[in-house]
Chains A and B, each alone.
Chain A
């Protein structure tokens, strides 16, 4: 079962690009990588998902190197409203258990 490791916290300023890296050394061959955003007292919300290389949507990009042992969530031009906890989630490896890591608490400063 893949375990993820992320930085506990990060600070950034409005308008900057933020990159949050997640390590998942024992990712299984058919596991996907998914990132979630969680605001206080709310359920996590899907941001982006990928399997390999680069994926981009309207809010973020996800970079996955060839060995897939890590991934980087990139948030372009963050605003104060991006202050939240970001979780990297690796697929269940066939166990049906989706185990969240500790997440990265991002604080965006004015």
Chain B
């Protein structure tokens, strides 16, 4: 158990809909990262937050947004969903904000299926 909690574990929805994925980082971790992993693909970096502030953006679509709240949990919002958005969405957390260590702790992911 990494200590990172993601909900929901599974989500099935229709094209055009909007969903919210939630992540609770490990206790004491200030940084949260979101990754997308499509079927049999690698991990695509989406966005990173540190203590409530956005720190880095990757290949995140404009239809997607995220935020980190004062209690440090984070939410990833996906809107106007398309079939291609079906994927596993992982959240990871770390203590610092880019200490170049790369020691990230991942949750078990939220599997999104868009029909």
Contacts A41-B111, A97-B56 known; A92 to B98 CB distance under 8 Å? yes
Q: Chain B: which residue is nearest A40 at the CB level?
A: B40
Q: Is there an interface contact between B108 and A42, defined as CB atoms closer than 8 Å? A: yes
Interface bin, chain B = 20 to 34
Q: Is there an interface contact between A33 and B107, defined as CB atoms closer than 8 Å? A: no
A11-19, A60-68, A74-82, A98-106: which lies at the interface: A98-106
Q: Is there an interface contact between A34 and B100, defined as CB atoms closer than 8 Å? A: no
Q: What 1/0 flags go to B33-61 for Cβ under 8 Å of A?
A: 10100000011010010100001101000
Contact with A43, one of B50, B90, B100 (Cβ below 8 angstroms): B90
Asked whether any CB of chain A lies closer than 8 Å to the CB of B2, the reply is yes
28 contacts across the A-B interface (CB closer than 8 A): A31-B102, A32-B100, A32-B103, A33-B102, A34-B104, A43-B107, A44-B43, A44-B90, A45-B106, A46-B104, A49-B101, A87-B42, A87-B43, A91-B99, A91-B101, A92-B98, A92-B100, A92-B102, A94-B98, A94-B100, A96-B55, A97-B48, A98-B45, A98-B48, A99-B58, A100-B43, A100-B45, A103-B42
